[in-house]
Chain A
Amino acid sequence: MDSALIPDGVRRCPLWKFLLGLSVAGAVLLWGVYAMLLCWVKGLNQTNMNDYYGFALWIWADLAVIALGGGAFFTGLLKYVIGKDELKNIINYAVLIGFICYSSALLILAIDVGQPLRSWFIFWHANVHSMLTEVAFCLSCYFAVLTIEYIPLVLENRQLDKVPFFHNLSHNMHSAMAVFAATGAFLSFFHQGSLGGVAGVLFGRPFAFREHILIWPYTFFLFTWSAAAYGPSFTLFITWLTEKITHKKLVKDNVVFLLAKISGWMILTYIAAKSVDTLYWMFQTAPAQGLQWHFFYQNNAFYGKWILFTEIILCGWLPALILVYRPLRERASWRVTAFVLGIIGVSLNRWVMVLQTMAVPVMPFDEWVLYIPSWQEVATTILPVAYGVILIMISYRYLPIFPQEKELNPITIPNGQEPELTTDPQDLAVKTMAVSNSVEEVAAT
């Protein structure tokens, strides 16, 4: 029915199946929208946040999706500015994932603030000393850049492309993309950094506070770096997941290996810097404020030293080494494991910088306060996931996201017949063989 919209030369699942999937994700989305409306209409008493947890699940989700969405700016930087041309085969998807992550972050922020109708005051009455002001400006600008980067992709839809204006627009935008990519990288550097600064400047919170280089605390640089490091891992992981779900090879291995290798080295350098920062904080920054580092991991039911181990060793050094070591990087199971560990690591880092910062008592007579989100918070946090799934489903179905898809998945069925999804196991096996053959081909070249 919708075949006219589907890109040329690729196969898509039947419409009913697509709609079924869409409605499942849509139901989750509606649940999230309901919770969102509750928060807007009844106020933030719908959450389990409190006066000790002014920042909680949502801010974590914000920071995490922006870190994971960092794949967009960094891949863009690599392709358009540094000139890693192979990455053109994954850049579309990186942009799409980035677009989803950033629009989600903005949506979550709109729910999170107590007076959403006045949130534009952040621009109107801007306090230039505030890291959050920097975040707001760069975030909205970069979101605009992502939108500009996403538009040509939309215009490549088979029907839209028929309109000469759109066709030309898309073409011209493509040629200007290097400029946007550079702008995006520049903006990202600042907002990723200022998100790190959000925690690092809190000199009233010894857990988060870090020394500064000029006006920027160390976390500023660590956040940018980690987003650049783990973002591509997330892009690759979502690509892998998409391939698993569609039962198709969508991006050639050389592209994947290249990006994974870069991600690995970035993680390795990041985690080395993070380790130095942590040690300096443990033995210099915190003791200067009268606090033993052990203090931050004691006397409470959740935040123990396991967090340090998990974040830095298990989800930092380990994925970095896997991705850097070629034999492991090129084995799918190891590679994907490293991606997952990395995603957990960076998310955990954001969690710690937001929630543990709030949990740690600062006045000696104060107490640890733990927090469990309300269902409304969880629903509104899952809402962007559902929205992302839907946007990916639609984009994948109707837009030529993966330039290599046609080549990797040649359609052998005679023309004029509607392609059908293979359900026969034998058929599947043949297809998988075809895929692995193509992988070998690529590896050989």
Chain B
Amino acid sequence: MKLSRRCFLSLSIGGTVGTALTPLPWKLTDDMSIWSQNWPWTPVPPDGAYTYINSTCTLCPGHCGIRVRKVDDRAVKIEGQEGTPLNQGGGLCPLGLSGLQLLYGPRRIQGPLKRDGERGKGQWKPISWQQAIDEVSRKLADIRSQGKPQSLACLTDSDTGTVPQLFKRFLNAYGSPNFFRMPSVEDAYESVLSLTQGVDGFAGLDLYNADFILSFGSALLDGYGAPPRVMQAISRLKEQNGTLVQVEHRLSNTAAKANVWLAAKPGTEADLALSMAYVIIAQQKYDTDFIGTHTEGFEAFVRMVQERFDPQKVAAYCGVEADVIVRTALAFATAQKPLAVYGKGKGQTAGSLREALAVHALNALVGNINRVGGVQAIPAYDYLQWPAVMTDETAAAGLQTQRLDRARSPEFPHAQAIVHRLFETVNASPGEVQALFVAEANPCYSLPGSANVQEAFDKIPYVVSFSSYMDETAMQADLILPNHVYLERYEDVPVRSGTTRPMIGLCQPVVAPQLNTRHVGDSVILIAKALKGAVAESFPWADYESCLQEALGDQWDAISDQGFWAAAESAPASLDNGFGTPSGKFTLMDETIGAVYQVGEPSAAGDASEYPLLLMPYDSIRLTSRYVGGTPFMLKTVADTVLKGQDGFVDLNPETAAHIGLGEGQAVRLSTPVGEARVRVHLDDGVMPGIVSIPRGLGHTAQGPFLAGKGVNVNRLIAPVEDPASGLDAALGIRAKLTKA
């Protein structure tokens, strides 16, 4: 049959019309839209049984109570645990809220890794846990057999709780005094409490009950202490019509929310505090009862203050007018419950001991020591009652050696650990450290002078990281024994920040371990056991969990049920026997303290003629600069005037910028005596002229695509400046210059 053109036309037209009249096109249209509503590549989270598990967040020293929502075996949301002493209001910070992005995120280490290639190149060979433990213990046995157990050093985030204490115990049994914890404002507070009150403990700041808070640069609303607790305290202060005064060179979020913002020049804060002391004394507004009965050295203190800290004199160089100093000092002294707070930013550096003492002296002048709404010295936690460490001869000899940082030596009697000295020592004499353990810390990123730290790492023959994440320090390791993340493990976390009430939070497994990781406590116990002898005998526990249960003893049941243990609400220690000083009194001034006041502030490194500006880092709660890096959700909150694409910004006062000829968003070269970086400029009227303000928490070189390569790590641009009084790093800023890129 021949298909004529006519026939073909009729067929095709008829076919088209016919098909259009069938339900087919409509069905297809409908199916297409249904398909678009259920694209297979758009995930559909499976539903299941809902449960809530209470635990404690360990991502910062705040240790807030958290409540994790689960659907079957998946954790789907972290919320604040309402109504606990750890977290009254139930709020939580951005980092705590986005913890699941760490748990399930791509920057985690899948299992034990052994370096396979050059250091820092990121070439790894997965090994078994057995191999990993064998490897470390063989290496450690080797070092020990050479009679140099002291050349093993360990760096962790904290020194309280079973995990840091297991490390410390391991070092003791092994024979090394070189246990280090990362620096923080606690270092300064410990020194202050020890010097003035003779107490070995931590400072409990009763922000919640104060009605006048005078903060010396503390980022109370940007991550200081336990962020939710501190923020609630400040909100309460506002509700009660209390006063917040912020002394800070920059209009930080805390300064923005303060009733009064005193823009004192960096480095003059101690002098400002002492000039306020001058006013309080001169106007007889100090607590005569407390000063008269419970202090010593008042006369000497008065003499020193009168001689050197007349507000007129101080006003001339600190940037705050004399009458403002007087007004603030009087308002502070006449408040019901005034509280002066020390600690720069989030409190991740020790800072100046002189300033810490001066601030504490203000509290003492108004009699606000060991009182509700004041500073309470809380004795160190003592719930870990472990049997004594077995020390064999090797260990005994090793423990006799001087700590590498000379902390707790006559030179620096009050410092627990001086971390920058550890790395300086390594750089000066490489043989001193043969092996380094790093747990829950990221010194290659978060220590000032991180370039020097990195250099020191190159000189340490054997580095073991216990990190859960492939961070900058893990990248420098020879062996990684990855820890569970906090949502997969048990851990006791004694609270030291933002509370006056001793509390132990329990971090408990919310989900089963997702990867081939192991609790760091178990790793330490296994390494000890593999070393045999006295070292092994010092670790009688089968595993970490039994060690923890034993440590918490009778409280275990209650704590694992509730998620925390809190000491009964009790009155602060009495003033009559609250001071451990020889005289039993609060020491306002003695020879040691006088010497600290006598030396000036450690000044920022660099020559002012070459580097006319001052680079000052600032803390933001939307970023994190500790062991754990920021999460993708947190990065959503970071403004495009802080980070844009890969470019990090510095904030400049428009006047300073105009002086150099810089405009908004312009790219510049930022140089300091220790490093340089390309940054962009953001103009901000909240920045003091002459200062370059830069955020902490950016500029990672590791930790995956969400973090790496974004912005500048300020620790690469600053260097430690040793406080002559404490030995601790007091560096906050450094001199700098900007040149057009």
Contact = CB atoms under 8 A, between A and B. Distances in A.
Interface centre among B29, B33, B35, B36 (most CB of A within 10 A): B33
A115 B36 CA distance: 8
User: Which of A115, A117, A120, A121 is most buried by chain B, counting CB atoms within 10 A of its CB?
Assistant: A117
Interface in A145-204: none
Contacts of A121: 33
A120 B29 contact: yes
B25 to A, nearest CB: 11
Contacts of A118: 33, 36-37
B32 interface: yes
A312 to B, nearest CB: 34
Contacts of B29: 120
Interface in B22-57: 29, 32-33, 35-37
A2 B475 CA distance: 73
Nearest to B26: A120
A24 to B, nearest CB: 31
Contacts, number: 12
Contact of A120 (B33, B35, B37): B33
Interface string A110-124: 000001011011000
Interface string A84-123: 0000000000000000000000000000000101101100
> Looking at chain A, what size class is its interface with the partner chain?
under 10
A196 B22 CA distance: 38
Contacts of B37: 118
Nearest to B33: A118
Nearest to B37: A118
B417 to A, nearest CB: 46
A306 to B, nearest CB: 25
Contacts of B35: 117
A115 B37 CA distance: 9
Nearest to A121: B33
A427 to B, nearest CB: 40
B587 to A, nearest CB: 51
A184 to B, nearest CB: 24
A159 to B, nearest CB: 11
A117 B29 CA distance: 8
Contacts of A117: 32-33, 35-36
Nearest to A120: B29
Contacts of A115: 33, 36
Interface string B210-251: 000000000000000000000000000000000000000000
Nearest to A116: B36
B34 to A, nearest CB: 9
A52 to B, nearest CB: 13
A120 B29 CA distance: 9
A118 B38 CA distance: 12
A45 to B, nearest CB: 15
Nearest to B36: A117
Nearest to A119: B33
A337 B461 CA distance: 82
Interface in A376-403: none
Contacts of B32: 117
A120 B36 CA distance: 13
Interface string A11-37: 000000000000000000000000000
A33 B205 CA distance: 67
A338 B29 CA distance: 46
B658 to A, nearest CB: 20
Contacts of A120: 29, 33
B140 to A, nearest CB: 53
A181 to B, nearest CB: 26
A301 to B, nearest CB: 13
A121 B37 CA distance: 12
A283 to B, nearest CB: 34
Interface string A53-76: 000000000000000000000000
A112 to B, nearest CB: 16
A118 B29 CA distance: 8
A157 B32 CA distance: 38
A171 B32 CA distance: 40
B680 to A, nearest CB: 17
Interface string B3-29: 000000000000000000000000001
5 contacts: A115-B33, A115-B36, A117-B32, A117-B33, A121-B33
Given A115-B33, A117-B35, A117-B36, 9 more contacts: A115-B36, A117-B32, A117-B33, A118-B33, A118-B36, A118-B37, A120-B29, A120-B33, A121-B33
Q: Which 3 A-B pairs have the closest CB atoms?
A: A118-B33, A117-B32, A117-B36
